[in-house]
Structure 1
Amino acid sequence: MIRVIGWDIGGANVKAARLLFTDGRAESGRTVRRYFELWNKREGLHPLLQEIHSDLGSADAMVLTMTGELCDAFHDRAEGVAYIIDAVREAIPGIPLYAIDLEGRIVRLDGGEADLLTLAATNWIAEARVLASRQPNCLMMDIGSTTTDLIPILDGKLAAQGKRDIERLAHGELIYTGALRTPVAAIVSQIPMRGVICRIAAEYFAISADVYLALGRLTPEDYTCATPDGREKTKEGALERLARVACEDSKHLTAGELHALAAYIAEKQLQQITEGMLHVLSRIENGLRLPVVSVGIGAFLGEACTRRMYLTTCDPPVLTDSGSVTLSPCAAAAYLLGQALSHG
């Protein structure tokens, strides 16, 4: 038996998956997700990693992906990558540590990393590599709390044109919009209100989690990030925050007006994602015939976009024989390493 932990360390979440392999097959496993503001208290990463490791159990090897190196706790991305690697090593010493690089390779981190930037923002690569082995022709849509990844897979290979984030932004494969943390002011600049078009306050009053909590698409338990006002994660709290977007309070807007406000913002975010899908698929012959695999906390948004484009959908693959773990970046990284060690 081989026990592997995959880490996905972002700026706002730390996610991990522990898989158990026997004869090259992932028999069982479990995942853990913790909201953690790396930019706000980076020294808290070390104890959090220890806590998660204790929760998951011991491992024979670990593999790392990350996006947290971009957060403004660091002067540059290389500093961020180095800090995250060191935090994992120091928090959980004595276990072989690997990482996924920009080429999709599994790299042993033995202290001699030459180019730290090749290890930055690689979580989507791990996920897409595993999906490509299960669904050789598709569009992977991973809609997380903050971003959306759109990765075409053709003939079992990743057909992404970008690797680094700036390239992926330029090619439409990375969209900075997500189901939880996106400020409403990054989705809309104006709203329809009482028969007129009303500009909104460009303030951090409400986020996408408030929109979907108000619409009943997310539960309070799904609202894993901090609220903009530090108050409760309830439908009433979400409506109060959304009202502030129009420089009003919820006592002076009707329930119908607040629901319409949330629905309009949701519609505009769907348009952002749909536009990205068309951008990516437009360069692929018969791209609109590719099935779509939607994953992430915002998978419901991906499914809605897929329906409105009349595309077919495929369920995300289950990675363990027990059915306990489905596709995610941390689980995909663990799966790749577990297979490599089993057959190595």
Structure 2
Amino acid sequence: MATSILGLDIGGANLKAATADKRAVSVPFPLWKQPDKLPTALAELVAKFPGVEELAVTMTGELCDCFETKRDGVHAIIAAVRRASGGRPINVWSTDGAFLNSEEAKQNHMKVAAANWHALATFAGRFAPDYGGLLLDIGSTTTDIIPLNHGVPSTYGTTDWDRLQMRELVYAGVRRTPICAIWTDRVCAELFATTQDVYTILGLLPEAPDDRDTADNRPLTVEYSLARLARMLGGDREVLSDDQIIHFATRIHSRLKQQLAESARAVYYDTPSAPELRTVIVSGAGEFLARPVATTAFPETIADRIVSLNDQLGPDASACAPAYAVAVLATEHRR
């Protein structure tokens, strides 16, 4: 019987788990608010997958400001995984393209810190095995733009610092990004609204009346999103019409799309000796945005060469793509 491996992606806002047979679960977990509860939350998540024998781990949560340094964050996350593991073997993905055991991961913390993009790109490369490819993964908080050379990730940097400088990491996503980080002209520089308000208003994200993880802790509905976005303009729904607010939402969407398209072009065409671009792979909670970003960035190349991980994997596994990626990579490594 094949060993069942559970992939874990431990982020700052969500915990994600998946197996290679596409069972997947994502749960919200604001790590920066409650790092002491991470072991319990992970144990509860692992318990949803009875029968797993090993854990394959990747992470981004070490950047949370509840940790003094990334070293502290990596060590705390690995300690939490150990407590939640029930004695199962643990392997942690590194940007060397290999798994490390938990002690090796602690000793090489910068190679496992924020390595989930590398795991996903390594897995996604199989959908672009020939010539040039690009992974465009838009999440709730960040966007990863990863060039692929015959299926292999080809990047300048492996740390958040390096990747931000090279625009391979863009700190903008479709849910948690403050509007004032995207639109700076004649708006309030306050956390009055986030991008999930824009995309809820535009019908690209579903309403979630039970979700109060919003700028004002009111429900994620069109009505409240309109009010939050009006506040960004120094107004409210008595001062501004719905049409004015919706127009503002449309402009924010257009600006974010253009900013990400410019980064995608810069990343790919600044790569030395980049092969002809043949495939763009889109994924993440913001896959609906990644597709127009791709066609805007590369209109002459890839109109009919976009691969959707949502289509390839199904919505559950796609929503937990880095966790699924490490589960698959670990399973293949085991074989």
- Quickly say closer, same or farther: Cα 1:65–1:225, change in 2 above 3 A: farther
Q: Is the 8 A contact 2:75 2:106 kept in 1?
A: no
Aligned-pair distance for 1:56? Answer: 2.2
Query: Aligned residues: percent identity?
Result: 33
Unaligned regions of 5+ residues in structure 1, if any? 20-27, 191-198
Q: Is the 8 A contact 2:211 2:219 kept in 1?
A: no
2:63 match:
70
2:173 match:
178
2:163 match:
168
Structure that is richer in helix per residue: 2
- Quickly say closer, same or farther: Cα 1:222–1:2, change in 2 above 3 A: farther
Q: Is the 8 A contact 2:39 2:81 kept in 1?
A: yes
Q: 2-side partners of 1:150 and 1:112: how far apart? A: 25
Describe the SS at the equivalent of 2:48.
helix
1:22 match:
none
Q: 2-side partners of 1:143 and 1:164: how far apart? A: 18
2:286 match:
298
Quick check: 1:281 aligned with 2:296? Answer: no
Paired residues, what number? 325
Q: Is the 8 A contact 1:189 1:200 kept in 2?
A: yes
- Quickly say closer, same or farther: Cα 1:168–1:224, change in 2 above 3 A: farther
Query: What value does the CA root-mean-square deviation take over the aligned residues?
Result: 2.2
TM-score (norm 2): 0.91
Matched ranges for 1:50-89 at <5 A? 50-89=43-82
What letter corresponds to residue 172 of structure 1 in structure 2? R
2:83 match:
90
1:328 match:
321
What letter corresponds to residue 241 of structure 2 in structure 1? T
Off by >6 Å, runs of 4+ in structure 1: 222-225, 317-320
Q: 2-side partners of 1:180 and 1:117: how far apart? A: 27
1:140 match:
135
- Quickly say closer, same or farther: Cα 1:202–1:324, change in 2 above 3 A: closer
- Quickly say closer, same or farther: Cα 1:168–1:222, change in 2 above 3 A: farther
Matched ranges for 1:146-157 at <5 A? 146-157=141-152
Matched ranges for 1:1-344 at <5 A? 1-19=2-20, 28-110=21-103, 113-136=106-129, 137-190=132-185, 199-221=186-208, 226-284=213-271, 289-309=277-297, 310=299, 311-312=302-303, 313-316=306-309, 325-326=317-318, 328-342=321-335
Q: 2-side partners of 1:72 and 1:269: how far apart? A: 26
Describe the SS at the equivalent of 2:58.
strand
Q: 1-side partners of 2:134 and 2:209: how far apart? A: 25
Describe the SS at the equivalent of 2:204.
coil
What letter corresponds to residue 165 of structure 1 in structure 2? D
What letter corresponds to residue 267 of structure 1 in structure 2? S
Post-superposition CA distance 1:142-176 (Å, at most 9, x none): 10000000001012221111111111111110000
Aligned-pair distance for 1:53? Answer: 1.1
Aligned-pair distance for 1:308? Answer: 2.4
Q: 2-side partners of 1:127 and 1:66: how far apart? A: 12
1:196 match:
none
Q: 2-side partners of 1:69 and 1:323: how far apart? A: 27
Q: Is the 8 A contact 2:105 2:112 kept in 1?
A: no
Describe the SS at the equivalent of 2:252.
helix
Post-superposition CA distance 1:45-81 (Å, at most 9, x none): 1221111111122311111100000010000000000
1:25 match:
none
Q: Is the 8 A contact 1:146 1:181 kept in 2?
A: yes
